[in-house]
Chain A
Amino acid sequence: GENVEQHPSTLSVQEGDSAVIKCTYSDSASNYFPWYKQELGKGPQLIIDIRSNVGEKKDQRIAVTLNKTAKHFSLHITETQPEDSAVYFCAARSRHAGGTSYGKLTFGQGTILTVHP
Chain B
Amino acid sequence: EAGVAQSPRYKIIEKRQSVAFWCNPISGHATLYWYQQILGQGPKLLIQFQNNGVVDDSQLPKDRFSAERLKGVDSTLKIQPAKLEDSAVYLCASSEAGGTYEQYFGPGTRLTVT
> A residues near B, CB below 8 A?
4, 6, 34, 36, 41-46, 49, 89, 91, 93, 96, 101-110
Q: Do the beta carbons of B107 and A41 come within 8 Å of each other?
A: yes
In the complex with contacts A44-B91, A103-B48, A104-B56, A89-B99 CB distance below 8 A: no
Measured CB to CB, the nearest residue on chain B to A31 is B100
Nearest A residue to B41 via CB reads A109
Please give me the residue from chain A that is nearest to B31 by CB atom.
A103
The complex places the Cα of A96 from the Cα of B104 at a distance, in Å, of 21
CA separation between A104 and B31, bound complex, in Å? 11
A44–B102 CA distance with the chains assembled, in angstroms: 12
Bound together, the chains give a CA A55 to CA B15 distance in angstroms of 48
Q: Are A43 and B42 in contact (CB under 8 A)?
A: no
- Per-residue CB proximity of B101-114 to A under 8 Å, as 1/0? 11111111000000
Contact with A along B11-35 (1 / 0, CB 8 A): 0000000000000000000010000
Q: Would B105 and A44 count as touching, CB distance under 8 A?
A: yes
In the bound complex, what is the Cα–Cα distance between A49 and B104 (angstroms)?
13
Bound complex: CA A89 to CA B42 (Å)? 7
Q: Which residues of chain B (58-114) have a CB below 8 Å from chain A?
A: 91, 93, 95, 98-108
Instruction: Assess the A109–B55 pair: CB atoms within 8 A.
Output: no
Q: Does B50 contact A (CB under 8 A)?
A: yes
Whether A103 pairs with B100 at a CB distance below 8 angstroms is yes
Of B103, B106, B107, B108, the contact of A105 (CB 8 Å cutoff): B103
B residues in contact with A107, CB < 8 Å:
42-44
- Give the distance in Å from the alpha carbon of A67 to the alpha carbon of B27 in the complex: 36
Cβ 8 A contact of A42, one of B42, B99, B107: B107
Interface contact A91-B98, CB-CB below 8 Å: no
Q: Which residues from chain A contact B56 at a C-beta distance below 8 Å?
A: 96, 102, 104
**Residue in contact with B50 in the complex, picked from A45, A46, A102, A105, CB distance below 8 Å:** A102
